[in-house]
Amino acid sequence: MITIKATCTDNRLFTLTKEDQLIGQLNYRSLFSTKALLQTSPTEAYLAKSIGVLQTRIGIFKDKEEVASLHMQGTTALRIRFHETKQEFFFKTKGTLKSKYHLENDKNEILMEFEPSFAWKNFKYSYTISSEKENDVLLVLIGLYGANYFINLMSGVTAATFM
């Protein structure tokens, strides 16, 4: 079993580590932004940002070229599509309280599981990401982005319910 840790360091930056080695970073532009930089190596980065009139789609860009996109599939899944390879993945919420997330391929095989933990002391999320085999760092970062997207979405719904 391969385990990756995603740790939030300052409410905007998540670092990915495997066996205490840095393998990637997810850096949001601001605290409540959907715009983020996905750093897969010291020299390679991708930009995630909402696009479209209603901003219901998220594009993943490398050097201004869209390489992947994320679309909501109902209320419990994000469809991830890589344009060049035509590969599709699905990021789904799992558990009674939607407390875990799975990244699945188009054959419904689970590739990764994201288990969040919340630290009340410093009000930050971290994740344990588990998989049976090695996965592309960009795919792991997109999964982490998806987990944060769902948590922010649910937080907004909860806040709106109690207002």
Tell me what pLDDT residue 122 has. 78
Residue 121 has pLDDT above 70, yes or no: yes
Domain spans, the chain = 2-161
Alpha-carbon gap, residue 89 to 72, rounded angstroms: 12
Phi, psi of 118 (to 5 degrees): -110, 130
What does the pLDDT read at residue 161? 31
Whether 50 has a pLDDT exceeding 50, the answer reads yes
Residue 43 pLDDT > 50, yes or no?
Answer: yes
The residue that leads in pLDDT, 44 or 125, is 44
Contacts by 119-124, CB closer than 8 A, 24 or more apart: 123/11, 124/8, 124/11
How far is it, in rounded angstroms, from Cα 130 to Cα 115?
A: 8
- The mean pLDDT of 131-145, rounded to a whole number, is 94
- Quote the CATH superfamily of domain 2-161: LURP1-related (2.40.160.200)
Q: Which of 30, 63, 74, 62 is nearest to 142 (CA)?
A: 62
* Residue 62 vs residue 75, higher pLDDT: 62
